[in-house]
Each structure stands twice: as structure tokens, then as C-alpha cells.
Chain A
Amino acid sequence: MRPIHTNAVIFGFTLGTVFAGSYYGLQRLCRVRMFSDTLSRINLWLWNAIIVAAAVSLMLGKTTSKEYAELEWPIDVAITVVWVVYAVNFFGTLARRREKGMYVAIWFWIATILTIALLHIFNSLERPISWMKSYSIYAGLHDANIQWWYGHNAVGFLLTTPILGLMYYFLPKQINRPIYSHRLSIVHFWSLIFIYMWAGPHHLIYSPLPDWAQTLGMTFSVMLILPSWGGMLNGLLTMRGAWDRVRTDPILKMMAVGITFYGMSTFEGPMMAVRTVNSLSHFTNWTIGHVHSGALGWVALVCFASLYYMIPRLWHTKLYSVRLAEVHFWTATLGLVIYVTSMWISGVTQGLMWRAVNADGSLTYTFIETVAAIRVYDVIRAVGGAVFLSGVFVMIYNVAKTIQQGSAAVPAGALPPGAVPVAGGR
């Protein structure tokens, strides 16, 4: 069940939205149509086929057992094909662009394309022994280290950089204000992608991984705080002077809360990477809370905002109901807060109970006692998740209605020829 959940969230929802958002933004930032519509279609259909194959194969128990890379080798090969298609299409469009510079959103998408290619290929190197079974070429500690180099950078380059790209494109479009600082975007882009690469071993603190590698992972995580915050600052400072609009516009509200949660979880993560904190937080629900404040708070909210921006424009209409978007914003935020706080309390409770010892040196609590103690937080977490999910259903309804009212004017899914409302002539 868990791999299905993580694959659906990361590769289905997030990457699907990133494909859509980057295709949308790239064409407008380059003032040119995508390099090849055929490649775009291959990207769309093959990717969705992969998601279906992932769901089916995981339910059948076909897994490489590598976290966030569970899919078996034929699907890995298909992912590689899609990624090459996406890259060719992306860089082909870039090469033909009618705009001098490359806007910062494009840099972040480029970083995503290059890094994910590297990560996916090297983490998934495996020897097939039948059509649905393979063995990784790495063993033991090497496997663990490569795995978390991949896993941590998947967070960096699937859940951070492409979403920053979405933020850098859709935020100024929606708020109609200039990005706060060009030089901040340069500095935080390069520092982020350089430092991110090294932080993977913080997932293996207090493990057989050599101490020096653990230390490296920890310190690079700490040094990553401010580069991550650069994106948050640029986002929030772009909103300065327009907070009255942020108060009334659900898209901007989602951006604002999303960026805030980005700042929060990129501070929390490095703290949890610090050895001393990690000895308390590791293996507890705190980690679950952290991941969801990033995934629900940052990734999902910015993705929702991007979808609310794109979809009405793609179908040449207005959003069916701003009120429902508002409802979505509040359910998402409320669900998020309930979820994350319950996991914090639960995680710290677990961590403290596990390490508690009696005066005679024996453990105070049996494992089952710690499970019983956090049960109430699991219930609260389920409530928070349900509230969050209910907002997604509201969005689906809203989007469906929007497409319905727009589809009369323009065939569904079709971009108008030229794709770009060209502002300054050619």
C-alpha cells in the first residue's frame, strides 16, 4: 500500500502537474510552441500508462523494494524513455525560443530534468532475471547509500526544484508583480542545487555508514537551510505590498501558505538531520509529519494553485467557482495543520518513550505500550488527511465544471495555434 501511495503522489500527481506546468510555462516564456507535439503526446500517454502499470504491478507485489524506486525494470526503462522524450522536447523548445534570456523558472526545470536522469539511471541499475524481477547491482551498504542519494535528491529535484519553477512562473503571473530579486534567484539556485546533492546520507545517521559520511550528510543539510529559504524569501517578498490581494485570492493564498510551509519544512529537515536531534526523531512519526508538511503544504498547495491558474486559461474560460477554490484552500490548510501537529506530538512521544529507562537501567516501556500511546494521534492524523482529501474532491468538481463550461468554445485539451498570447510581436 505504501509504495502505491508514494508513487501516486510523487510520480502521478506531482510530476503530472510539473509536466503540465512546465509545458505551459515554457512555451510562454520562450514564445514558441513546443518543439514537437508528437513528443508531447508520447510524454502524456506513456507517462500515464506508466502510472497505471505502477499501480497494477505494485498491487501484484512486483517491487524492487528500493524506496521511491520500487518499480520493476521494464517500467524503469519506460520511465527513461519518457524522460528522454521530455528532455528532447524541452531542450528543443529552448533552442528555438524567441526570447533572449532564460527565466529562472526554466533553470529550475532544467535542473530537474538533468538531475532526475542521473538519479534514475544510477539508482535503478539492476540485473533482470525475468521480465518482472531484477536484482540491484548494488549490495548492502552501497545499496543503502545510493538509495538515499537517490531518495533525498528525488525530494530535492522532483518535489523542490520543479515546484520552485512553478512558483517562479505562476506567482508573478497571478499577482502581477515583479519577482523581488533576480540576484537572489541566481544565488539560491546555484547554492541549492550544489548543496542538495550531498545531503543524502542524513537518512542513514546511526547506521553502518561510516561516521564521516554521516557527518557530511548532516552538515550539508544544515548548510542547505538558507539556499532553500532563498526561494521562500523571493516568493514572499514578491507578495509584499500586495497582501490585500493575497487575502482575497485563493490562488495567491495557496501560494503564500505553500511557500510558508516550504520555509518551515526546509528548516525542520536540516534540524532533524543533526545527529543529536536525529537520535530522537529517527523512525518516529515526526519524520512522517515532516514529509507531509513538505508534500501537502508545499508541493500540493503550489500544484493546486498552478492548476487553478492554468486550467481556466487552457479552456478559455473563467474558474467555475472562486468560492469553491476558497473552500479548497481552507480545507487543505486546516487538514494540513491537524495532520502535521498530530504527527509532531506523536513522533516526539514515540521518541521519548523509546529512550526512557528505569532507575535499574531497563527500558520503561514495551514497544506495544508506545504503539498504544500514539493511537489517538493516528486517529487525529486520519481526520486531518480526510479533511485535506475532501478539499481535493472539491477541486476535482470545480475543475470538471470549469472544463465543461469552457469546452464549448475550444476543443478540450487543445492549445490554440501558436500556443502563446504573444505580447511584443515577433
Chain B
Amino acid sequence: MSGQDDYVAELPRPDDANRDGIREEDNDIPGWWWWTWFATILFSAFYIPYYALTGWSQERMYAEQVEAAQAIAASAPAPTANPFRGDAAAIAEGQQVFATICAACHKPDASGLVGPSLVDPYWKYGDSDADLFQTVAKGRPAGMPAWESQLGTEKIWKALAFMETLPKSDQPGIGAPTAPGAASAPAAAPAPGS
């Protein structure tokens, strides 16, 4: 190694370089390395046209999954009477759901906060099991979200079963009609839900 510029003269063979004392052998690349690499390339070469040409797309996957979910939902009609009424274990579970979901807007004692009271004698959207289920599952215009996709049928029924066990209040709570005849609340309501 003499001048500064002789490095352009030729590229060194790997075994005649000094490189700070680092030597390099020139062993063969393992055969399995080549073959596995070719296999991944081959996989890609098939995967790309397969994906592109068979119509497999994320839109189709989405559509199929929605369709499947809707088919399940349609084949399992919601019961018209609460199947968990009086079932202690189910009510305990319903209490959990109520505490984590409903209490945020309806207050832990259900006397109403953002959402209306659930223990006063007034019901904005009907008090039959089917109506109540509809309210929770599909939501209502004034701000009640639809919970069906998150809770599922069972948990909704359980939460409703728990709600029935809450002590009732005679006082019109938040959300009660201010003038007689407003909304659908009956003037003299029966004990709601039962």
C-alpha cells in the first residue's frame, strides 16, 4: 500500500485485503438459503395474481362478513319477553353491564343524568319488553346510542332484568314530560317494565 490513489487500479479479491485485520472467507452460501428465498419469491409470484384475479379484496371480505353477520342476526329473532326475568345470576351480570355502560348517562341509581331517569313512572318510548329492548339495542333519536353491536342480545336482556330490580321512584326524574300528554308517557303509569 503506497500511494493514495492506487485503490482505483483494481478491485481486490476478498482474501488479499487488509481491512484493519478483518479477514473474509468466501464460503458458499448455504443451499437452503437460496431455495427458501426462491420459495418466497415464488409464493409472491403466485399470490399477487391470485389476489388480483380472483376478486379477493378487502371490500369483498367486508361485504361477506357483514352479510354473514346480518344472516345470523336475522335468524335469531329477538325474544319478545325478557328471558332472564328473575334469574339471579343473570341479574348480577346485568348489574355489571349497567354499572359499566348505562350508569355513565343514567346515573348508578338510574335516576337520570344525561339520559332520562329509568325509575320514574314515565317512559318516552314505551315500557313493554320489546320496546325496551328496541330502545337499548337500536338506540333512540334524543341521544341514546345503539348498543346491540357492542353488548349483544343477551347482555341487553340481562341489563334490563337488573333494571327492573332497582327501587322505583314516584318523583318525575330528568327526562320526564313537562306537560301532560307529552311524549308517550301515560298519566298514571304502572310500575314500569313489570
Contact = CB atoms under 8 A, between A and B. Distances in A.
Given A100-B17, A182-B26, A211 B58 contact: yes
Contacts of B149: 362-363
Most B CB contacts (10 A, CB to CB) among A182, A227, A362 go to A362
Contacts of B148: 362
Nearest to B34: A226
A179 B18 contact: no
B170 interface: no
Interface in B27-75: 27-30, 33, 36-37, 40-41, 43-44, 47-48, 51-52, 57-58, 69-70, 72-73
B36 A179 contact: no
Interface in B68-89: 69-70, 72-73, 76
B184 to A, nearest CB: 28
A215 B153 contact: no
B23 interface: yes
A358 interface: yes
B118 to A, nearest CB: 20
Q: Is the interface of B mostly helix, strand, loop or mixed?
A: helix
B152 A360 contact: yes
A274 to B, nearest CB: 9
Interface stretch (A91-99, A250-258, A289-297, A298-306): A91-99
- Determine the interface band of chain B, counting residues with CB < 8 A from chain A: 35 or more
A402 to B, nearest CB: 22
B51 A183 contact: no
A60 interface: no
Q: Name the residue among A98, A172, A358, A361 with the largest chain B CB count within 10 angstroms.
A: A361
Contacts of A211: 51-52, 57-58
A273 B61 CA distance: 18
Interface in A60-111: 96-101, 103-104
Interface in A86-142: 96-101, 103-104
A360 B89 CA distance: 21
B152 A103 contact: no
A101 B19 contact: yes
Contact of B37 (A31, A218, A227, A362): A227
A346 to B, nearest CB: 21
A417 interface: no
Contacts of A362: 148-153
A426 interface: yes
A361 B76 contact: yes
B152 A364 contact: yes
Given A96-B4, A358-B154, A366-B100, A222 B51 contact: no
Contact of A180 (B27, B100, B101): B27
Interface string B1-30: 110101101111010011111111111111
Contacts of B100: 366, 368
A387 to B, nearest CB: 34
A223 B44 contact: yes
B69 A233 contact: no
A379 interface: no
Given A100-B11, A363-B152, A182 B33 contact: no
Interface in A15-70: 25, 28-29, 31
B24 A219 contact: no
Given A219-B47, A225-B40, A181 B27 contact: yes
A219 B27 CA distance: 29
Interface string B154-165: 100000000000
B43 A222 contact: yes
Given A97-B7, A362-B151, A29 B24 contact: no
Interface string A336-359: 000000000000000000000111
B159 to A, nearest CB: 12
B84 to A, nearest CB: 14
A219 B44 contact: yes
Most A CB within 10 A of own CB, among B4, B25, B51: B25
A426 B1 CA distance: 6
A181 B152 contact: no
A214 B19 CA distance: 42
Nearest to A220: B44
27 contacts: A31-B1, A31-B20, A98-B4, A99-B17, A99-B18, A100-B6, A100-B12, A101-B17, A172-B23, A182-B26, A183-B28, A191-B37, A206-B58, A211-B52, A218-B47, A219-B44, A223-B41, A223-B44, A225-B37, A226-B36, A358-B152, A360-B76, A361-B69, A361-B76, A423-B20, A426-B1, A426-B2
In the A-B complex, the 10 residue pairs with the smallest Cβ-Cβ separation, listed nearest first, are: A362-B152, A219-B44, A226-B37, A361-B72, A178-B23, A182-B14, A28-B20, A181-B27, A101-B12, A179-B24
Given A96-B4, A103-B19, 11 more contacts: A98-B7, A104-B24, A173-B21, A178-B24, A219-B44, A229-B33, A230-B29, A233-B33, A362-B150, A362-B152, A425-B1
Interface of A: 25, 28-29, 31, 96-101, 103-104, 169, 172-173, 178-185, 187, 191, 206, 211-212, 214-216, 218-220, 222-223, 225-227, 229-230, 233, 237, 357-364, 366, 368, 420, 423-426
